[in-house]
């Protein structure tokens, strides 16, 4: 096991407070709207939930309310993109993906339209609304679409930065974020580069690759494991597609084992993308922290994450399990 000194960087990861990632989206949308007058926004009757009001107040002529008609919204976005606009669509993740999969597939992905599909309230941490709204399959659906970029930022600052960054990338993007207040720990101003993993902590015993809200759980687990003398490398994979193959392989070459963490089904999520890469290039023992073929239910975000195996202790146990397989 490594010396305790190697964990110093991990200790520097301290939250500055709690804010939701959807608030990060709202702030990012306002900023990119100011920077780029080609940015337009659409919403399917969820302005408040998506935090889009500041953009609407400042740029009312560049906002389009579509009502409760998500399929139509995707088509309209494709039309706006055809003429050179950069449309950001806003609704819940469930209605941004499964409900409109065919519209995204044909009018956006296959037609290579520059549409930014911005999806809030993803995963179990939506909470009390229950399983009808807690989509856990969206990353899989979206990453299967050829040419689709898939991003799941981990906190307010990263979501804001991602919202701004995706306007500079030509092509369809799925940007996924969530509802609850969540620790803000990525320093403001940290550069967001699509497809480039963010190293949060150097380590030598195990590589933890995490996305979305679970990045924080991975950090907390790594801190706890450090006390047990286990050195975790914590890498934030905010871009699920294109995957940062190099960062993953470089880390696994060193640690020889992997834990993936995501607020998503085990089938089809980040873990599967990593497993596919490792199977081809560098087979290594791996454990998943993900939902195991199940729908969610009503409850508080943290209670739900714990019940469905996505809590801090689940990450700790996954690391302990994978180390035994090394």
Partner 1 sequence: MADIQQLNKIASQVRRDIVRQVSFATCGHPGGSLGCADYLTALYFEIMEHDKGFNMKGKGEDMFFLSNGHISPLFYSVLARSGYFPVEELATFRKLNSRLQGHPATHEGLPGVRVASGSLGQGLSVACGVALSKRLEKDDKTVYVLTGDGELQEGQVWEAIMFAAHHKLDNIITAVDWNGQQIDGPTKKIMALGDLNAKWTSFGWEVLEIDGNNMEDIIKTVNQAKSTRGNGKPKVILMKTVMGFGVDYMMHTHAWHGKAPNAEQTETALAQLEETMGDYPYSV
Is residue 3 at the binding interface for partner 1, with CB under 8 A as the rule? no
Are 290 and 310 in contact by the 8 Å Cβ rule? The answer is: yes
Whichever of 74 and 310 has its CB closer to partner 1, that residue is: 74
Residue of the chain from 1, 69, 279, 321 that contacts partner 1 (CB under 8 A): 69
Q: Which stretch binds partner 1 (CB under 8 A): 101-109, 247-255, 272-280, 314-322?
A: 101-109
Q: Cα dist. 267→168, 176, 181, 223, 271 in Å?
A: 31, 17, 27, 28, 8
Q: Which stretch binds partner 1 (CB under 8 A): 97-105, 128-136, 157-165, 296-304?
A: 97-105
Chain residues 5-64 in contact with partner 1, contact rule CB under 8 A = 40, 61-62, 64
- Bridge partners for 176 per DSSP: 119
Whichever of 101 and 182 has its CB closer to partner 1, that residue is: 101
Q: Report the nearest approach of partner 1 to the CB of residue 92 (Å).
A: 17
DSSP assignment string, 114-135 = --EEEEES-SGGG-TT-TTT--
Question: Cα–Cα distance between 297 and 255 in angstroms, integer?
Answer: 36
Is residue 87 at the binding interface for partner 1, with CB under 8 A as the rule? yes
Residue of the chain from 26, 28, 33, 75 that contacts partner 1 (CB under 8 A): 75
Question: Cα–Cα distance between 199 and 201 in angstroms, integer?
Answer: 6
Here's the x/- map for partner 1, 106-135, by CB under 8 A: it reads as: xx--xxxx----------------------
Is residue 80 at the binding interface for partner 1, with CB under 8 A as the rule? yes
Is residue 154 at the binding interface for partner 1, with CB under 8 A as the rule? no
Whichever of 39 and 310 has its CB closer to partner 1, that residue is: 39
Q: Which stretch binds partner 1 (CB under 8 A): 26-34, 67-75, 162-170, 245-253?
A: 67-75
Are 310 and 212 in contact by the 8 Å Cβ rule? The answer is: no
Is residue 99 at the binding interface for partner 1, with CB under 8 A as the rule? no
DSSP assignment string, 220-277 = HHHHHHHHTT--EEEEE--EEES--HHHHHHHHHHH--EEEEEEEESTTSHHHHHHHH
Q: Which residues are catalytic?
A: 70
Interface with partner 1: number of residues (CB under 8 A): 32
| CB hemisphere CA count around 309 (13 angstroms) | 17
- Single out the residue of 188, 182, 216, 195 nearest to residue 21, CA to CA: 182
Sign of CA dihedral 298, 134, 237, 180: negative
Is residue 102 at the binding interface for partner 1, with CB under 8 A as the rule? yes
Is residue 67 at the binding interface for partner 1, with CB under 8 A as the rule? yes
3-state secondary structure of 23: helix
Whichever of 81 and 218 has its CB closer to partner 1, that residue is: 81
Residues contributing to the site for partner 1 (CB under 8 A)? 40, 61-62, 64, 66-67, 69, 71-85, 87, 102-103, 105-107, 110-113
């Amino acid at each position: 096991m490594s010396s305790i000194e190697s964990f110093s960087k991990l200790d520097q990861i301290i939250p500055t407070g709690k804010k939701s990632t959807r608030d990060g989206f709202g702030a990012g949308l306002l900023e990119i709207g100011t920077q780029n007058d080609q940015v337009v926004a659409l919403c399917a009757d969820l302005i408040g939930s998506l935090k889009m009001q500041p953009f609407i107040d400042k740029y009312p002529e560049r906002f389009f309310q579509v009502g409760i008609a998500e399929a139509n919204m995707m088509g309209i976005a494709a039309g706006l993109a055809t003429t050179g606009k950069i449309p950001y669509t806003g609704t819940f993740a469930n209605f941004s993906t499964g409900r409109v999969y065919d519209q995204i597939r044909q009018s956006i992905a296959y037609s290579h339209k520059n549409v930014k599909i911005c999806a809030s309230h993803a995963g179990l941490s939506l909470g009390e609304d229950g399983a009808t709204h807690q989509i856990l399959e969206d990353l899989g659906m979206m990453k299967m679409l050829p040419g689709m970029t898939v991003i799941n930022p981990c906190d307010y600052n990263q979501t804001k930065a991602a919202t701004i960054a995706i306007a500079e990338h030509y092509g369809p993007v799925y940007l996924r974020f969530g509802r609850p207040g969540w620790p803000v720990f990525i320093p403001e101003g940290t550069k967001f580069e699509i497809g480039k993993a963010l190293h949060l902590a150097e380590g030598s015993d195990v590589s933890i690759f995490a996305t979305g809200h679970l990045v924080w759980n991975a950090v907390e687990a790594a801190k706890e494991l450090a006390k047990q003398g286990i050195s975790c490398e914590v890498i934030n994979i905010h871009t699920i597609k294109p995957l940062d193959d190099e960062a993953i392989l470089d880390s696994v070459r060193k640690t020889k084992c992997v834990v993936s963490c995501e607020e998503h089904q085990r089938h089809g999520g980040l873990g599967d993308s990593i497993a596919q890469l490792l199977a081809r290039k560098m087979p290594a023992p791996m454990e998943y922290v993900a939902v195991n073929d199940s729908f969610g239910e009503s409850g508080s975000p943290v209670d739900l994450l714990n019940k469905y195996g996505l809590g801090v202790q689940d990450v700790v146990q996954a690391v302990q399990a994978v180390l035994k397989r090394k």
